[in-house]
Amino acid sequence: MTESEPYSGRHSRPGLARPYSFTEGRTEPSVEIAIEAQVQTTRAGYSVPPNATSPQWNVLQLCYEARSVAEIAAHMSVPPGVVKVLVADLLNEGLVVVHATLGEDTTLAERRELIERVLSGLRAQ
């Protein structure tokens, strides 16, 4: 594209820019969250007033039932990095809890089973 050529949108990915507007351009969460971590809305999160245009509210709605970061990303059609930032913000406000799924003593079989569950959940979307 030259300076005189009008912008056609062919050289950019506008669909990717919008999700990062959900996080005000932030790409790193304030706390480390694994992609397989289970996120669940807290009692305080249930009391957040409805706002269908708020990505945070959408995460809260999805997490009435515990879901992995990967599943949330698939439901919202946004990159997992965006979900991690949103979840970290909600976690800092006490609106969600994050359940770690892997520990230091997790066996290889348990790790495989977790990966299979995450993949299965993503395929179901």
**Residue 96 within a domain:** yes
**Residue 88 within a domain:** yes
Whether residue 20 is predicted with pLDDT greater than 80 in this model: the reply is: no
**Residue 74 within a domain:** yes
**Residue 4 within a domain:** no
What does the pLDDT read at residue 84?
Answer: 95
**Residue 5 within a domain:** no
Q: What is the pTM of this model?
A: 0.72
What range does the domain containing 79 cover?
Answer: 14-124
Whether residue 123 is predicted with pLDDT greater than 90 in this model: the reply is: no
Average of per-residue pLDDT across 63-71: 93
The answer to whether the CB of 74 falls within 8 A of the CB of 121 is yes
The answer to whether the CB of 38 falls within 8 A of the CB of 67 is yes
**Residue 8 within a domain:** no
| Domains held by the chain: number | 1
What does the pLDDT read at residue 2?
Answer: 38
Q: How confident is the model at residue 115 (pLDDT cuts 50, 70, 90)?
A: confident
Whether residue 51 is predicted with pLDDT greater than 70 in this model: the reply is: yes
**Residue 83 within a domain:** yes
**Residue 3 within a domain:** no
- For the chain, the maximum distance between any two Cα atoms, rounded to a whole number of angstroms, is 61
Structure tokens at 88: 């970290």
